[in-house]
Structure formats: structure tokens, C-alpha cells
DNA sequence: ATCTTTTGTTAGTATAAACTAACTTTTATT
DNA sequence: AATAAAAGTTAGTTTATACTAACAAAAGAT
């Protein structure tokens, strides 16, 4: 998990689940992402070690300040990019998939520039 | 090289080098990408096996029809995305880096939609 | 209380894609 | 011709990230 891509995705998923569920457990993340619980268990260990999440003795996962910041950033990109692509006429499914990939590789600068310059479309948030 | 990302990058590099050099060899690709020649050697073997390139007995690399198609597509994305980001005020270095990453993960549909909708900027080609 | 299911962990495996090290082969220089 | 340099190959290593299999512990159902 040196590459941030996978970590970012886990953090974003934890954020999204925390809005839908009363508590977020490892198994919930696995279900959401379609991964095996063993994979998620290892990933959560790394996120814990890197100070991105805290896990209670009951197994409830919470984002730390640092983890939350990353999750928020990625989630904002996700929402913006998918809404924007949809507003351009891209099929919703494809727009969501693309947003999921672009959100991890775009720079702060480019994202800000796009937001600034193509901002005038219907946001669904 | 099941993931297309690396293969696409090699093919694009071969295309670019073939416009600059009389012939393209493995070592030229390695130099351009900053990879070791052993890595490129293995990658070229895979591209050969997948019918994306042909290598002459002298070691000269040529794109096949299939390889050329991929290279052209990626290169077009690269040029469009970088020009577009630069036109939005993104620093050139960052725009190029972002284009290099986004070009491999964006769908045909989204790329077409962006091109269609934000087409009215100064292209430097 | 016992058995089953759910959840989490650990150990070891697989794959992609880079790497180093060592070797071969060809080309150039003396 | 002999040595040196450049280019290519091969074998084995590393890292990230998923996987399976086997186990442990907790929660629920009978």
C-alpha cells in the first residue's frame, strides 16, 4: 500500500459506508468493494499502521483526521467528475467508473482548473 | 502485462520515438522511459507475443496495425488532454503528467464527450 | 449447552511490473 | 586480432495487491 491508489479507494469506501450504515466493519468494506475479507483485513491493518483509520475493539472502523481528509478529497473528486461527465452526456455507469479511476490519478491543480473552468453545469448535490 | 496500462505506455512511447528517430530499438525505449533495458526487453517480448509490435533481426521495433491503433488512440488522448489542461491554466509539467495518467484510465465515451463539449480551446497541433 | 454462522486474522500463493546481476552477442577501437 | 563498449537476454528478486485455505473468536439459534 505504498501506492496511494488502493488506500484512497478504501478510505473513500469507508467514508461512503459511514454515511449509510450506523457502524462500518471490515466485512462491510469487503462486501461493498467485492473483495475477500482477508484482503480487507490486511488493508485495514495497513491503514491503521499509517494512521488513516482507528478500529475499536468491537471492530468498528473510524477515519482519523488524516484519513478523513483523503477520503473527503477523493469523494469530492468522485462526485464532481461523475456529475460533470453525466452532464456531458456520458452514460451514468461509465461516468461512475471513469470517475472512480480518474479521481486517483488527477492532480490537485488539474482538478481545481477543471472545476473552475467547467463549473457551470447542473450538480445533483 | 495483463493490465493494459503498461503496454499502452510502451506502445505510445514507441510511436513517439518513431517520429523522432530513424529506427526504434529497445534501448531507446528504456532511455525514454527511464527503465532498465532488462525491463524493456521483457516488455517487448510480451508486446511481440501479443502481436502489438514486430522486431527485426537487427532489433528494430515497428508497431503492427493493432499496436499502432492503440498507440494512436493513447497519443491522441495525450495531446488533447495535455493541451486542454494547459489551456485551463494548469502548469505544463503537471498537465503532461496528468495527461499521461488519465489517458490510460478514461473510457472512449468520456473522452469523446469531453472533446465534444470543451473543444473550443487553442490547440497547438 | 452445543452447534452454526459470522467476522476477523494469519500464512502462504499469484500476478504484474519494475528491479539487479550475470551472461551473450554484436559493434567499435585500438 | 584483442579488448572495450553497447545492446539484448535470462534468471531470480522486490513490491503492491489481490487471492485461497485454515484457523480463532464471537454471536445466534436450536
Domain match, A10 and A48 both: yes
Query: Measured between CB atoms, which of B102, B106, B113 is closest to A88?
Result: B113
Structural domain ending residue among the three candidates B67, B91, B108: B67
What is the rounded CA–CA span in Å between residue A84 and residue A120?
9
Domain match, B13 and B36 both: yes
What is the rounded CA–CA span in Å between residue A3 and residue A21?
28
pLDDT recorded at residue A3: 57
Domain match, B52 and B105 both: no
Structural domains counted in chain B: 2
User: Residue A83 belongs to a domain with what CATH number?
Assistant: 1.10.60.10
Say if A23 falls within a structural domain.
Answer: yes
What one-character DSSP code corresponds to residue B67? H
Domain match, B24 and B79 both: no
pLDDT recorded at residue B121: 67
Q: How confident is the model at residue A4 (pLDDT cuts 50, 70, 90)?
A: confident
Domain match, A51 and A31 both: yes
What is the rounded CA–CA span in Å between residue A13 and residue A19?
10
Domain match, A48 and A98 both: no
pLDDT recorded at residue A112: 96
Give the pLDDT confidence of A32-67 residue by residue, as tens digits: 999 999 999 999 999 999 999 999 989 999 999 999
Query: What domain range includes position B31?
Result: 4-67
Q: Which residues contact B84 (CB under 8 A, 6 or more apart)?
A: B114, B118, B121
- The three cell numbers of residue B102 are 488519465
- Helix (H) or strand (E) holding A79, with range, is helix A65-87
- All residue ranges of chain B with pLDDT < 70 are 1-3, 120-125
Q: What is the mean pLDDT of residues A100-122?
A: 90
- The three cell numbers of residue A77 are 473528486
- Helix (H) or strand (E) holding A53, with range, is strand A53-55
pLDDT recorded at residue B2: 45
Q: Residue A35, CB, less than 7 Å from strand D?
A: yes
Say if B124 falls within a structural domain.
Answer: no
Say if A29 falls within a structural domain.
Answer: yes
- Give the gyration radius of chain A's Cα atoms: 15
A3 touches chain B (CB under 8 A): no
Residues of chain B contacting A88 with CB distance shorter than 8 Å: 110, 113-114, 116-117
Nearest-CA distance A70 → chain B (Å): 19
Amino acid at each position: 500500500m505504498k501506492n496511494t491508489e488502493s488506500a484512497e479507494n478504501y478510505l473513500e469506501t469507508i467514508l461512503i459506508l459511514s454515511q449509510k450504515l450506523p457502524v462500518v466493519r471490515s466485512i462491510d468494506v469487503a462486501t461493498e468493494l467485492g473483495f475477500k475479507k482477508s484482503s480487507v483485513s490486511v488493508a485495514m491493518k495497513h491503514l491503521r499502521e499509517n494512521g488513516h483509520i482507528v478500529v475499536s475493539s468491537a471492530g468498528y472502523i473510524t477515519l482519523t483526521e488524516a484519513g478523513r481528509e483523503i477520503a473527503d478529497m477523493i469523494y469530492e473528486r468522485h462526485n464532481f467528475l461523475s456529475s460533470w461527465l453525466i452532464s456531458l452526456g456520458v452514460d451514468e455507469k461509465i461516468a461512475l467508473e471513469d470517475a472512480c479511476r480518474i479521481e486517483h490519478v488527477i492532480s490537485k491543480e488539474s482538478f481545481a482548473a477543471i472545476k473552475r473552468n467547467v463549473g457551470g453545469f447542473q450538480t445533483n448535490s
